[in-house]
Amino acid sequence: MKIVHAASEMFPYVKTGGLADVCGSLFKSLAGVGHEVSFFLPGYRKIIESKEFESAKLKVVLQVELGEQFLRGEVWAISLGKRQTLYIIRRDEYFDRSNLYGTRERDYDDNDARFIYFSKAVVQAMRLLDIKADILHCHDWQTGLLPLFLRMAEQETGMTLALKTFFSIHNLAFQGLYPRSSFKLTNLPEEFNAIDGLEFYEQISMIKGGIFFADKIMTVSPNYAREILTPRFGCGLEGALKVREEDLVGIANGIDTEVWNPRKDPYLLNHYGANDLSGKALCQEALLNKVGLKKGEGPVYGLVARLTEQKGVDLLLKRMNFFVKNDCRIVLLGKGDPTYEKALRRWAKSHPEHVAVCIVLDEEMSHLVEAGSDYFIMPSVFEPCGLNQMYSQRYGTLPLVSGVGGLKDTVVDIVSDPKEGTGIVFEPNEEAYAQALEDSLSLYNDQKAFLHAIKRAMKRDFSWKRVTAEYEALYQDCV
């Protein structure tokens, strides 16, 4: 098949979170099984200044209608190997910036214009480059309007640009909400600025465009697909999603098993596998040395996350005393809400023998935390899929996760299923989290059962090969 993807980020070129990892892996995997895959990204400064861009070729010049203006743009192409092309939409006024979406304090004021422009540019590029796709697959709110723009362009030109459109919701909490006045930038007929279109409580919702106008709606785990149909997880869009329930499908993400492989991880000085865990013990020693901790009586816990309410940091803070009381060690890596950063720093300062906090985003360090911890904590309030719980199992680090979204789909609870369990799953409340911590201590003290659980976890298949087969089947059913 000829498959086109469009998103606001893709690993290894630009990344702020899991969206980039998923897009990069899916792109590579689909090409690897024989499909012709193209990927459209905005021309961010980081991409334009990268070594990869040196081989880029200018393909076409665009004139994109945005409200009352026609704005110039360029499409550059980078060949990434057999059947893989990366297209860069370049308009420096919009994308030549130090960050993707804004500063730490606030989003860029013109993100509505930036990503409406990007979506329109992708459609125009497909037309000018004569890319007749079987599938156009768009990701998150930044490309939410793309399926609608594509169908409108097809009506105007009489050309078929894509047989079917897919829209993936990676996190429904981020919806691309903008003032109603932003609708004029779309140049769409006024009929689309209504409750059964883009209108959302006197605003426009870009994610709603994807929900209503794509042929198929995807989420990144089966459980999350069910959850977002409810008021608890639907973020106000459960009604719109209910309308499209028959076209809503959840496929759990995979992980890049070449990047995340404890047998040959370039970020680790010591490698290991399920049959020889001696290297893992050395990784733990290296982790503790790096953050200035010494091994205690209890296990080592790790956490790598954006420090936000979604990630359950409130829950974490309420039970920090557990690690001190039981002579455990906890290493936390991440950035986010300054309030959470300060609270965690206070714990590290008052309990320097038990708590280490690294307020930084660091790819190398995140691999070391995964390899060097005994347990990995993910107390998320909601989690569309999550990747770290899968990285953890591959690295023999048992995850403690709240039973939401993809966490529930990808971790087998050892408390309820001691023979097959690969982690501990708990309800996202303080009492259940406290019990999960106690259960983790009990399991750790039974070293035989603990080692069996580690080996089971490491043998699970989270590869994109499995996931790609599911996407392939779904694509083929649609075309």
Cα–Cα distance between 420 and 301 in angstroms, integer?
22
Annotated binding site: 15
Those residues whose C-beta lies under 8 Å from the C-beta of residue 403, and which sit 6 or more positions away, are 413, 425, 426, 427, 428
Strand locations in 305-373, DSSP E? 329-333, 355-358
Cα–Cα distance between 140 and 206 in angstroms, integer?
9
**Residue 461: which of 393, 388, 387 has the closest Cα?**
393
Those residues whose C-beta lies under 8 Å from the C-beta of residue 51, and which sit 6 or more positions away, are none
Cα–Cα distance between 175 and 199 in angstroms, integer?
12
Annotated binding site for ADP-alpha-D-glucose: 15
Cα–Cα distance between 403 and 430 in angstroms, integer?
13
Cα–Cα distance between 95 and 91 in angstroms, integer?
6
In the numeric block, the tokens 């110039």 are attached to: 72
Cα–Cα distance between 384 and 174 in angstroms, integer?
12
